[in-house]
A and B are shown apart, each in its own frame.
Chain A
């Protein structure tokens, strides 16, 4: 064992491998490697490389294809709200706005609800109930997006149109947020359907994070006379960054969600403050117009929207992962 060679030297343990003896040992080990091992290792490495190159291929292809649009419109592409396929003028602002509005709106409902469910699952539910309940929540994530869309069109939209929206207009119509006519289809429907769709991911990550908080925290709080809720507040403080990262992952889902949103949002490229009006998101404009796009610039512009969407979700995921990574490192450090 290389370790025993190093036993009688006073170098820091991290530098062991740099010593000539250890290097020689591993070199000899490499030469003695079974040829089958070498082949197997390289075959699996090749497939890992395929995964890596797929991501780079995606970025490369989308960049090349959207280049005409990037060169033609430049930065204006994301600041202009003129989307006019007839005259070949494209500005993506309404879609970016719609994407941000709908997904942030969905988070506004989904985060408190998810955290509530996560608290119930990790802190309150008795052991035998927790598993089946968690499974029910996670089944929500398994429902295909198209089924949410169908539910949206035939159940939620009519309900919004006849019950919810007339009430909103009656009571809150003076606010710009609730101005307009009760179409049913529109931003509100998209926000609600997205809320349901991002709930499972936020819930399950938040629950895991809360569960990883050591029991001593709860016990200490209770021992000082805290109520159950006050003890949970302590747990929440510890789980804060985990919940943040869960929310960002949820946001990433909401931003990219296509079918259900396309089916209920009403598809209109207008920027409106009101949640009652039809709107469009980046994903929904792709779903609606891509197959029918004719001119070169039109396709290129749509691909640029896809590229923007890709970058958006990439950033959201990277931040969320970085937070998770920091948490696990911290917990790893305390465990060691």
Chain B
């Protein structure tokens, strides 16, 4: 190959590969917009008061809503938060304080492990630990599963956000003779509060979209129920059931519910990104 031919070839290869990377980005962003566009266009027409205030209609009848599923999702997430948030928060504080040592290292590693466990497996564990002894599907079991899912997310953001607080804060506190724990609770945590708080919201956004761990723990319920020891409905299981149903009306309600869910998740995510970016630059 002559020098000029080689040169042209190299330039050609350069242009092709660079445009391929651009194309892959376009493809990925395109898919995102495709999914959003479908959810919005198919969902938005069917969002009405009935959907969020009415109970599911009996099979075969048109209309109805998912009021019980919305309340159910809120109950399940609250149950999970009730123990997922304190465990995650304090474990995160511990990890941020303790850099070294086999125990901290093991916990840090297990947090990553917990984060990587498929949510369906967590559902199986909740089934064994809660459903089997109680001998029935229940909101408690679903909440237990969601809580486990929240813990690693909260632990990690708490640790990261505390580490982002400049060490001069800690030094200033200690120099004034304030005990370590007070320095942590009243100086460092307030400084990291915004990041931790939104991290908690992000973990809520993640578990509110979870379906797999609820399938055989909370199970789902077509009727109104707020009892914790009974099966309970949730938005995600509602979508799952309605998506597979052979009725057009139900499928459209599934799209509408997805639209609500996706909006909720996106808003929480964008707030998180906005807040954390500010923390980084501060």
**A residues near B, CB below 8 A?**
34, 36-37, 39-41, 43-52, 54-55, 57-58, 61-62, 65, 112-113, 116-117, 119-121, 123-124, 131, 133, 135-137, 139-140, 142-151, 153-155, 196, 199, 203, 227-230, 232, 249, 252, 255-259, 263, 283, 286-287, 290-291, 302-303, 306, 309-310, 313-314, 316-318, 321
- Chain A residues contacting B219 (CB-CB under 8 Å) are 291
Residue from the list A47, A65, A133, A151 in contact with B94, Cβ < 8 A: A47
In the assembled complex, the Cα of A251 lies from the Cα of B122 at a distance in Å of 18
Name which residue of chain B comes closest to A200, CB basis.
B28
- Interface contact A50-B87, CB-CB below 8 Å: yes
| A-B pairs with beta carbons under 8 Å apart, 16 shown | A34-B180, A44-B97, A47-B91, A51-B155, A52-B107, A61-B129, A65-B128, A116-B20, A117-B24, A124-B18, A143-B262, A146-B243, A146-B258, A229-B17, A256-B121, A313-B121
Chain-A contact segment, one of B6-14, B51-59, B61-69, B164-172: B6-14
Residue from the list A112, A123, A286, A317 in contact with B116, Cβ < 8 A: A317
- Chain B residues contacting A150 (CB-CB under 8 Å) are 39, 239, 243, 254-255, 258
- Interface contact A116-B205, CB-CB below 8 Å: no
Q: Mark B103-131, 1 if CB is under 8 A from A, else 0.
A: 11011011111101111111111011100
In the assembled complex, the Cα of A291 lies from the Cα of B132 at a distance in Å of 12
- Interface contact B22-A120, CB-CB below 8 Å: yes
Rounded to whole Å, the gap between the CB of A206 and the closest CB of chain B is 12
Residue from the list B124, B125, B148, B208 in contact with A290, Cβ < 8 A: B124
B95 within 8 A of A: yes
- Interface contact A40-B181, CB-CB below 8 Å: yes
- Interface contact A256-B118, CB-CB below 8 Å: yes
B247 within 8 A of A: no
- Interface contact A44-B255, CB-CB below 8 Å: no
- Interface contact A137-B28, CB-CB below 8 Å: yes
Q: How large is the interface on B (under 10, 10 to 19, 20 to 34, 35 or more residues)?
A: 35 or more
Rounded to whole Å, the gap between the CB of B165 and the closest CB of chain A is 16
- Chain B residues contacting A314 (CB-CB under 8 Å) are 113, 116-117
- Interface contact A55-B114, CB-CB below 8 Å: yes
Give the dominant DSSP class at A's interface.
helix
Q: Which of B86, B120, B155 has the most CB of A within 10 A?
A: B120
Q: Which of A39, A48, A112, A316 has the most CB of B within 10 A?
A: A48
- Chain B residues contacting A36 (CB-CB under 8 Å) are 179, 181-182
Residue from the list A147, A203, A283 in contact with B261, Cβ < 8 A: A147
B138 within 8 A of A: no
Q: A155-B38, A256-B117 are in contact. Are A51 and B91 (CB under 8 A)?
A: yes
In the assembled complex, the Cα of A37 lies from the Cα of B179 at a distance in Å of 7
Q: A150-B254, A151-B35 are in contact. Are A117 and B181 (CB under 8 A)?
A: no
- Chain B residues contacting A121 (CB-CB under 8 Å) are 25
- Chain A residues contacting B110 (CB-CB under 8 Å) are 51-52, 55
Residue from the list A47, A120, A145 in contact with B209, Cβ < 8 A: A145
Rounded to whole Å, the gap between the CB of B110 and the closest CB of chain A is 5
- Interface contact A37-B205, CB-CB below 8 Å: no
In the assembled complex, the Cα of A46 lies from the Cα of B93 at a distance in Å of 11
- Interface contact A140-B31, CB-CB below 8 Å: yes
B193 within 8 A of A: no
Name which residue of chain A comes closest to B238, CB basis.
A146
Name which residue of chain B comes closest to A308, CB basis.
B121
- Chain B residues contacting A37 (CB-CB under 8 Å) are 179-181
**Could you tell me which residues of chain B, from 142 to 196, have a CB within 8 Å of some CB in chain A?**
148, 151-152, 155, 179-182, 184-185
Q: A61-B125, A62-B124 are in contact. Are A44 and B91 (CB under 8 A)?
A: yes
- Interface contact B181-A229, CB-CB below 8 Å: no
Q: A54-B148, A146-B240 are in contact. Are A113 and B24 (CB under 8 A)?
A: yes
**Could you tell me which residues of chain B, from 24 to 78, have a CB within 8 Å of some CB in chain A?**
24-25, 27-29, 31-32, 34-35, 38-39, 42
Q: Mark B215-228, 1 if CB is under 8 A from A, else 0.
A: 11001000000000
In the assembled complex, the Cα of A137 lies from the Cα of B33 at a distance in Å of 11
- Interface contact A144-B38, CB-CB below 8 Å: no
- Interface contact A51-B109, CB-CB below 8 Å: no
Q: A55-B113, A143-B35, A303-B128 are in contact. Are A309 and B118 (CB under 8 A)?
A: yes
In the assembled complex, the Cα of A32 lies from the Cα of B265 at a distance in Å of 48
- Chain B residues contacting A146 (CB-CB under 8 Å) are 209, 211, 236, 239-240, 243, 258, 261
Residue from the list A136, A155, A303, A317 in contact with B113, Cβ < 8 A: A317
- Chain B residues contacting A49 (CB-CB under 8 Å) are 107
- Chain B residues contacting A40 (CB-CB under 8 Å) are 180-181, 184-185
Q: Which of A65, A137, A143, A309 has the most CB of B within 10 A?
A: A143
